[in-house]
Amino acid sequence: MSAILIRGGHVVDPSAGVDAKRDLLLKDNRVAGIEPAGKLNAAAKQEGAEIVDAGGLVVAPGLIDIHVHLREPGQGYKETIATGTAAAAAGGFTTVCAMPNTVPVNDSVETTRWMQSAERNPSARVFPIASATRGSMGEALTEYGSLKAAGAVAVSDDGKPILGEAIMHQALAAAARAGLPVIQHAEDTRMTGGCSMNAGALAFRLGLRGMPVAAESSLVERDLRLLAELKGGRAHLHIAHLSTAAALDAVRKARRNGLHVTCEVAPHHFILTENAVGEYNTNAKMNPPLRAESDRRAMLEGLLDGSIDCIATDHAPHAAHEKQQEFERAPNGITGLESALGLTLELLHRKHKVSLSRLITLLSTQPANLLNLRGRGTLAAGACADVVIFDPKAEWTFRAAATRSKATNTPFDGWTMLGRVRMTICEGRVVYRADAEGNRPANG
Amino acid sequence: MTPGKATILEPPSAVPPAPTPAAETCSRSLLSVTALSLNDVSAILSLATQLEAEEPVARATRLARRRIALLFYESSTRTRTSFELAAKGLGADTALISSQSSSIEKGESLKDTGITLRALGAECIILRHLSSGAPYLLAQATGLPVLNAGDGMHEHPSQALLDLRTILRALGRPEDAPGETLLNGITVSITGDILHSRVARSNALLLPRLGAQVILCGPPALLPEVARELGPGIAIERDFDRALKQSQIVMMLRIQKERLAGVHIDLDEYTTRYQLHRERLRAGAPQAVVMHPGPMIRGLEITSEVADGPQSVIAEQVRHGVPIRMALIQRALEPAAGPRKVRAQAGAKKRGGAA
């Protein structure tokens, strides 16, 4: 392995409390040192390190997205592990956690291993999240211990809820024994049959059946009750893609009562409202749906006051022909890996004055902590050499057509973004490098 | 920041609804009544009157041999037949494609069906579809003018326009008054399965803009409170008799069993509370005009005596469908030719009346 000296950058590493100009030396896919300017020059010279000039740029631990859909195995026409992680690298992500709603569902040690194989040609580290129940059918638990040993970092039936009360209780208890979090897709599907957007006046006018807020909040409340009943155990419940004020309030309350519950929010849920559906724009269709302005504001407040633990994109690529259908028929989901940093910097950092350190906490430090990804989300000596270098002041226009993903289903096409990724290094390997002007290279 | 484009600097409440993606829809389409200006509404009413009065042979030269596709994913009697007669009345060739006897059965998408029809020379597509918003997709995919002949639970704009014409004729009100005063002082009650009704939405979105008050009436399961937020000039009244007392126009709707999706309705109770029968009409609205967009379920929301009675204009509604749809087709294919003539003639008529 070669060595890389990243010189003159503004290093932001919340895990070590670093928020200053520092040089960073990476060696043999580990962080070798982080020191004031010049102090690593000799060591770098000795290693024959590549020198990266990061003057005026932010150097941070690689971003971590704990909620992506990479579509492999089985749906390579939407995305592959190679293309999805290439998009991740271009967006500054060095680690992604892949949801199990593939074909077949990832409920086995074999699939879990297959997804992590170097043969998938990934540009970012992939940690599988295995299904909580066999085939995500909600009936029988999968083998949490062996799945963890094979590399799974959590269990979830994402795309669907773990709906039955008894099976959810079993899942929380078994996951606690195995030391895995249970990630819940909180949707009481008994309230959302045939629904394709948020319930309310807009859904009524558009003649679309709406998903009520209670479909999310009531299942979160149910799960929190189950978690409370297991108190004393080590069960960790993580709520995926939180979207409603009511569910966030339930999470806050449970935390005050000492329950181990965490949650994530997707950029689209703190940036967009249901109005983005406009005239049946299927790129604004996802599950949970875009909500009302009051819910969007609540998500923003949750990020600002710390009650939301992290940002996760719910990157959900689909083929163009699938989204070019009647609104009710089009599948749920949008891509997110290449727009997350730019949107978050624009809205949280520039508009709401959230510090860069807090932002990296939400996009890297905390996601690593939540799923116990050791040596990730930090630039401490000995940590994985996962680094993102970005220009925090660069403005650019996001073009869906230029994505590295196979899919272009995003409502943010043409939006102005703040903060351009200049280089992404995953386990010591440069997986993304912008051209000399800071633009995305033509071929990638 | 580049100006103009939506950016997240603004709170999203200030960001307009996402613009329709990439492809433009043809401005001569009619996808929703909300896209019609009051001038458009007046022009359509005048054009309908003009076309209705034209000598049939001359009228049939207007769109001679132009190709119009009728694409019907749902069954229809009135709408389909009147669109077809309207197109033929203007001399156009029509082709009917229904989901049961076409490649739609083999899984062909709406987009591909539209592109196929365009390749076959269709210049306008009239679409009925079970999915709300489908006409927007078809209009984007083909770039052709698309006339929405009813989409899911969303809208049925040509029905609202023919209902408007029926109301004006039944009340003997002028059709050439300024748009916003056309229905001043008129209260229209719409009663029944509002939730699943595209007719209710199109009427409730159109009629208040023309000066009318709209009262929506029905049980909560078929009329959620949120319906009030459709727009200004809309009220909800759960008591049918109270709604009748305020109404000059009484519009009844069928319960759409095919869209109930698990909602359970006690039909006996529904009939007791919401059926329009002779005694109720006599007591509540003895002078009112009774309308129904069809299909009716006689004995459920309306009795035969009322449907066939002297206050009913239900057959008139059907009759007005043809001229209104002729105007919509003419507007879709030859927007320049139609309205210009109409304005000239309307002006001449006014002067003549004053003399």
Summarised one tens digit per residue, pLDDT across range B75-93 is 899 999 999 999 999 999 9
pTM: 0.92
Contacts with A, B 75-114, CB within 8 Å: 109-111
Best of A280, A303, A396, A410 to disrupt the B interface (most B CBs within 10 Å) is A280
Sequence-separated (6 or more) residues with CB below 8 Å from residue A353: none
| pLDDT over 50 (residue B341) | no
Q: Is A249 a catalytic residue?
A: no
Long-range contacts formed by B127-130: CB under 8 A, 24+ apart: B127/B71, B127/B72, B127/B73, B127/B151, B128/B71, B128/B72, B128/B73, B128/B74, B128/B76, B128/B79, B128/B80, B129/A326, B129/B71, B129/B73, B129/B74, B130/B73, B130/B74
Helix (H) or strand (E) holding A298: helix A293-305
Q: Does B156 touch chain A (CB under 8 A)?
A: no
Q: B158 to chain A, minimum CA–CA distance in Å? A: 17
DSSP B123-136: SEEEEEESSTTHHH
Provide the residue type at B186 as one letter: I
With a cut of 0.90, is the ipTM above it?
Answer: yes
Q: How far apart are CA B323 and CA A46, in angstroms?
A: 88
| pLDDT over 70 (residue B22) | no
The full set of domains in chain B, from first to last, is 22-156+321-335 (3.40.50.1370), 158-316 (3.40.50.1370)
Q: Does A415 touch chain B (CB under 8 A)?
A: yes
Nearest residue in A to B135, CA atom:
A326
Q: Does A299 touch chain B (CB under 8 A)?
A: no
Least CB–CB distance from B8: residue in A278, A327, A343? A343
At B327, list the tokens. Answer: 């105007």
Answer whether A279 sits within 8 Å of B151, measured CB to CB: no
pLDDT reported for residue B4: 38
Q: Which residue has the higher pLDDT, A354 or B350?
A: A354
Nearest residue in B to A349, CA atom:
B9
Query: Helices B314-333 and B38-53, interaxial angle, to 10°?
Result: 100
The full set of domains in chain A, from first to last, is 3-60+383-433 (2.30.40.10), 62-370 (3.20.20.140)
B273, B223 in Cβ contact below 8 A? no
| pLDDT over 70 (residue A150) | yes
pLDDT reported for residue A307: 97
B228, A204 in Cβ contact below 8 A? no
Q: Which of A101-115, B8-22, B120-134, B237-251 has the lowest mean pLDDT?
A: B8-22
Q: How far apart are CA B128 and CA A207, in angstroms?
A: 14
Confidence of residue A443 (pLDDT cuts 50, 70, 90): low
SS3 B250: strand
Q: How far apart are CA A339 and CA A346, in angstroms?
A: 11
Q: B182 to chain A, minimum CA–CA distance in Å? A: 24
**Which chain B residues touch A277 with a CB distance below 8 Å?**
17-18
Catalytic residue among A107, A157, A309, A314: A314
pLDDT reported for residue B213: 98
| pLDDT over 60 (residue B13) | no
In this predicted model, what pLDDT tens digit does every residue of A273-298 receive, in sequence order? 999 999 999 999 999 999 999 999 99
Q: How far apart are CA A163 and CA A170, in angstroms?
A: 12
Q: A211 to chain B, minimum CA–CA distance in Å? A: 14
Q: What is the mean pLDDT of residues A397-408?
A: 96
Nearest residue in B to A272, CA atom:
B12
Average pLDDT, chain A: 96
At A347, list the tokens. Answer: 């809205």
